[in-house]
Amino acid sequence: MKFVLAPDSFKESMKAIEVAEAMEKGIKKVLNNAQCIKVPMADGGEGTTHALVHSTNGILEKIKVLGPLGKEVEGEIGILGEGKVAIIEMASASGLELLSKEERNPMITTTFGTGQLIKAALDKGVEKILIGIGGSATNDGGTGMLKALGAKFMDEEGKELPLGGGELLKLKHIDISGLDKRIKDVDIEVACDVTNPLTGEKGAAYVFAPQKGADKNMVKILDEGLKVYSNIIKETLNKDIENVEGAGAAGGLGAGLMAFLDANLKKGIDMVIEYTGLEEKIKDCDFVFTGEGSIDSQTIYGKTPIGVAKLAKKYNKPVIAFAGKIGEGVENLYDNGINSIIGILPEICTLEEALKDGNKNMEKAAENIARIIKLK
């Protein structure tokens, strides 16, 4: 009997590969001859680099870069199996989790470190770069990233602007003559599930900046700065990206990637499914196990379990989804390929206990499902 184990991470408890390993242990307690194909997954956010590197037998490399406030942090790039594709998570260089609540300030945070990671990937001679842009601490339109790659953003006196989204109101001229020429020879794909435009009430500043530390006045300044930015992009590159879906992702990093690096935005789970080769693995299996920390009404919108389930449904494969927490509104998942949703907690406990015992609980839950399967 063949199982494909394709879970996401259980945030703050288990990495995706740890979830898959616990599933395998539980299954083999009952079906010791079962073949378990472990395919750790992600939806383009946290854990995507590790999932793709593991699934392709690639390598992970630590790179020292500037963090969102200009202090040195340790970012990561992954090089997938054959060495032709790099994967980057901008959050490892420019993410919100790198800052304390008191440090959050999208007026001054920068994507410069993300640009340094892209440059490091170019130095590896890859043909394609995949970028996950979830979890950003920034609202600079990607100008920091572009500065790290050689672009210049100047005021009316020709002086380069300081880093940070709060400076964009002063922007008068963009010089891309120094932009790294190697970018033209590399395809860039961006994992992005956000459809927000760059500016306005549904744009980067109004929707996302408050959670990054912005007050109402900051939000207004940041939004006006992004409007100035989009107008000068239009003048300089003849590209109108202000209202393009996804331009507002990661504080406007989506706009910067599309306008200057000709990046293509796609759903994160679709990217991960493609590069893990999940479809080929599912075709001839008997059961698919997936899951993540919480499954609820939002899971239908591109989260890992629904992406895996829709693919499995194409081949009529039964899907069991596991979760630490099962929320409201999961009924729609049963019409999209998930056959059963299993909570892994064996008893009422504290959140701290649930996170600490994740491996043990996942293993036991998988064992119990395997016992039911054995009855068939």
How many CA atoms lie within 13 Å of 58's alpha carbon, on the beta-carbon side?
25
Domain match, 291 and 171 both: no
pLDDT category at 45 given cuts 50, 70, 90 is confident
Q: What CATH number does the domain containing 317 carry? A: 3.40.50.10350
Q: Is residue 298 part of a domain?
A: yes
Q: Is residue 279 part of a domain?
A: no
Question: Which of 268, 298, 316 delimits the end of a domain?
Answer: 268
Sheet with 319-326: list strands edge to edge.
35-38, 2-5, 287-295, 319-326, 340-343
| Count of domains for the chain | 2
Q: Is residue 357 part of a domain?
A: yes
* Cα→Cα distances 83→24, 48, 80, 89, Å: 29, 17, 6, 17
**Whole-number pLDDT of residue 138:** 97
Instruction: Give the tens place of pLDDT for each residue, 79-102.
Output: 999 899 999 999 999 999 999 999
Residue 293, SS3 per DSSP: strand
Domain match, 12 and 73 both: no
Domain match, 27 and 76 both: no
Domain match, 110 and 154 both: yes
**Whole-number pLDDT of residue 122:** 97
* Cα→Cα distances 82→44, 215, 297, Å: 21, 46, 38
Tokens in use for 304?
Answer: 């890992």
Q: Is residue 338 part of a domain?
A: yes
Question: Which of 237, 268, 299 delimits the end of a domain?
Answer: 268
The boundaries of the domain holding residue 168 are 48-268
Instruction: Give the tens place of pLDDT for each residue, 16-31.
Output: 999 999 999 999 999 9
Residue 258, SS3 per DSSP: helix
Tokens in use for 337?
Answer: 């390929």
Instruction: Give the tens place of pLDDT for each residue, 126-168.
Output: 999 999 998 999 999 999 999 999 999 999 999 999 999 999 9
Domain match, 100 and 125 both: yes
Instruction: Give the tens place of pLDDT for each residue, 314-343.
Output: 999 999 999 999 999 999 999 999 999 999
On whether the pTM is more than 0.85, the answer is yes
Q: What single DSSP character describes residue 162?
A: P
Domain match, 205 and 84 both: yes
* Cα→Cα distances 232→148, 173, 215, 276, Å: 19, 7, 26, 39
